[in-house]
């Protein structure tokens, strides 16, 4: 099936990946006029800093959170922002509470927490968004330190925690969560990556990093087994990891998971990023049956066999074979990692040859994204960074606590770092980030979490009209593969849950066109194995599509 998927992609649209007429390097000045991305958070009404322990941090619990979600609140067709928020070591079970922000016309932001009667106030980490109960409205699943939560959206816009929705949750530390129909029964299931045993009242002894005293963990602390939550169709979940074949692995320090069809065989798979332990790749065999094959597939460790601290997870078709390639962000003094799919069915570590390896060593990477932000037809890669250790310790270890983003232009299967001013030169202690066309102009904007400062709302001012946008009409179709084809070229996107770090981007695929005029063809492969093709797709058009459930 893998070979057939790749062959089908080539037969549809040729073997290129980007349309002709790329516009070249974008303007990254960050100034008020003509800039690609400009932080407009405060002027548009978004003035909020999350709580995640104290600054500087003294324990590992304070540095791992920082997720957010873009989702459709009230079903009005635009994207709004949910922030789980955190707590403090002094009150780890109850913090200041989650926040909901309504994003309106012109990116005007209004705090809608009270209007939605949001009632989640635990130490939130990651969040995933999707229709969990089949009522057509987008709900949220929040991973937390302590009990995880299902927040169901009501017809009146309320976001209410559903008591007992996660049957048998043992209330330990969860970090990342991803949604997908893993048992192919028409509803969304959830994989929760869980971290380690931590007691705020009895924290671990300090550790040493490159000869510098730092807080303890994750090494030496007991890992917590992950959860596979299977949905009954009404938004209530039972833990089924043993039944699915996922409980035989050694519990590891899970930070995140992504759900998509990695090998093109028509079954959803689960890729799990672990901290300082081998990653997992649970490959679907149909129904609720999975085999863990990361080592066999070249996805468990770096090419030299070292385990890495996998934080962010990104996918793109870098080598133009129609199948997903995986980029993961990692801890400082290691490299970020790019693995590309090969005809053998394995993935190859191309961190060095791609140009993404050495440049990342000083950086502690978290959320990232492949996105064609300048709509020239080639996806860029952006990675948000920030160290876990206090400033003095980070500097003595040869790094820094506050770090600027990394931004790469793609040149075939290689990437070239682009440095600039404004947002690109500003150092932060970033964690989660989410992409979405928030102002409806066809390009993707970004919301970013900073542990040391307010949220950033990066407005994309490309405004070229060179786009095609595909949005999921039904979020139960998360995991869809979307391909846009022109004359002798094609581009592929995956609308998947769990990409980035602890965050949910809007369920949409944005294709940049450069100078290509169309018409184009769309091919969507749904998670249930069905597909649709749409011809006559015009430049500057938007499409809301769903599978035939």
CA angle 5, 8, 10 (to 5 degrees): 115
Q: Is residue 158 part of a domain?
A: yes
Kindly indicate the confidence band of residue 209, based on its pLDDT and cuts at 50, 70 and 90: confident
Q: pLDDT tens, 254-264?
A: 999 999 999 99
pLDDT at 35 over 60: no
Q: Is residue 6 part of a domain?
A: no
pLDDT at 25 over 80: no
**Which domain range does residue 144 map to?**
37-545
Per cent of the chain over pLDDT 70 is 93
d(CA 526, CA 13): 19
pLDDT at 6 over 80: no
d(CA 423, CA 420): 8
pLDDT at 141 over 70: yes
Average pLDDT of the chain to the nearest whole number? 92
Counting the structural domains of the chain, the total is 1
Neighbouring CB atoms inside 10 A of 280's CB total 26
Q: Is residue 520 part of a domain?
A: yes
Give the domain CATH number at 209.
2.130.10.10
Q: What are phi and psi of 389, to 5 degrees?
A: -90, 155
Token pair belonging to 342: 């090969």
Q: What's the predicted TM-score (pTM) here?
A: 0.94
Q: Is residue 247 part of a domain?
A: yes
Kindly indicate the confidence band of residue 31, based on its pLDDT and cuts at 50, 70 and 90: very low
Q: Is residue 14 part of a domain?
A: no
Kindly indicate the confidence band of residue 384, based on its pLDDT and cuts at 50, 70 and 90: very high
Contact 345, 29 (CB under 8 A): no
Q: Is residue 517 part of a domain?
A: yes
Q: Is residue 396 part of a domain?
A: yes
pLDDT at 211 over 70: yes
Q: Is residue 505 part of a domain?
A: yes
Q: What is the pLDDT of residue 19?
A: 59
- Which H helix or E strand runs over 294? helix 294-297
């Amino acid at each position: 099936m893998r070979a057939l998927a790749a062959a089908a992609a080539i037969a549809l649209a040729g073997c290129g990946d980007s349309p002709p007429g790329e516009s070249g390097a974008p303007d990254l000045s960050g100034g008020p006029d003509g800039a690609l991305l400009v932080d407009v958070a405060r002027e548009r009404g978004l003035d909020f800093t999350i709580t995640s322990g104290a600054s500087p941090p003294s324990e590992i619990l304070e540095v791992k959170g920082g997720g957010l979600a873009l989702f459709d609140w009230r079903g009005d067709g635009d994207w709004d922002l949910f922030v789980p928020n955190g707590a403090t070591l002094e009150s780890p079970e109850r913090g200041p509470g989650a926040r909901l922000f309504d994003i309106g016309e012109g990116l005007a932001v209004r705090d809608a927490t009270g209007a939605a009667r949001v009632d989640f106030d635990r130490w939130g980490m990651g969040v995933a968004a999707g229709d969990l109960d089949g009522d057509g409205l987008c709900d949220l699943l929040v991973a937390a330190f302590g009990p995880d939560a299902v927040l169901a959206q009501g017809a009146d816009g309320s976001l209410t925690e559903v008591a007992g929705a996660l049957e048998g949750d043992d209330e330990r530390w969860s970090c990342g969560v991803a949604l997908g129909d893993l048992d192919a029964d028409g509803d969304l299931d959830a994989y929760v990556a869980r971290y380690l045993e931590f007691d705020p009242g009895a924290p671990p002894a300090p550790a040493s990093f490159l000869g510098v005293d730092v807080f303890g963990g994750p090494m030496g602390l007991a890992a917590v087994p992950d959860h596979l939550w299977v949905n009954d169709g009404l938004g209530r979940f039972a833990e089924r990891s043993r039944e699915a074949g996922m409980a035989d692995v050694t519990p590891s320090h899970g930070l995140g998971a992504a759900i998509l069809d990695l090998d093109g065989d028509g079954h959803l798979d689960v890729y799990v990023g672990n901290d300082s332990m081998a990653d997992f790749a649970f490959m679907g065999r149909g129904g609720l049956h999975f085999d863990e094959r990361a080592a066999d597939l070249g996805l468990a460790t770096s090419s030299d066999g070292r385990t890495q601290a996998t934080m962010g997870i990104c996918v793109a078709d870098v080598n133009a074979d129609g199948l997903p390639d995986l980029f993961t962000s990692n801890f400082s003094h290691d490299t970020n990692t790019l693995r590309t799919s090969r005809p053998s069915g394995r993935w190859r570590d191309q961190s060095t040859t791609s140009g993404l390896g050495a440049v990342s060593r000083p950086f502690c990477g978290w959320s990232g994204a492949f996105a064609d932000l300048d709509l020239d037809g080639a996806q860029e890669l952006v990675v948000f960074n920030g160290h876990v250790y206090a400033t003095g310790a980070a500097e003595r270890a040869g790094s820094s606590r506050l770090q600027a983003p990394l931004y790469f232009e793609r040149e075939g299967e290689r990437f070239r770092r682009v440095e600039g001013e404004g947002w690109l030169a500003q150092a932060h202690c970033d964690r989660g980030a989410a992409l979405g066309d928030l102002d409806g102009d066809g390009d993707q904007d970004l919301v970013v979490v900073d542990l040391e400062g307010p949220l950033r709302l990066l407005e994309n001012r490309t405004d070229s009209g060179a786009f095609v946008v595909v949005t999921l009409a039904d979020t139960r179709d998360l995991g869809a593969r979307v391909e846009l084809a022109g004359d002798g070229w094609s581009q592929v996107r995956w609308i998947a849950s769990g990409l980035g770090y602890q965050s949910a981007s809007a369920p949409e695929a944005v294709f940049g066109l450069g100078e290509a005029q169309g018409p184009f063809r769309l091919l969507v492969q749904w998670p249930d194995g069905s597909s649709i093709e749409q011809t006559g797709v015009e430049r500057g058009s938007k499409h809301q599509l769903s599978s035939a459930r």
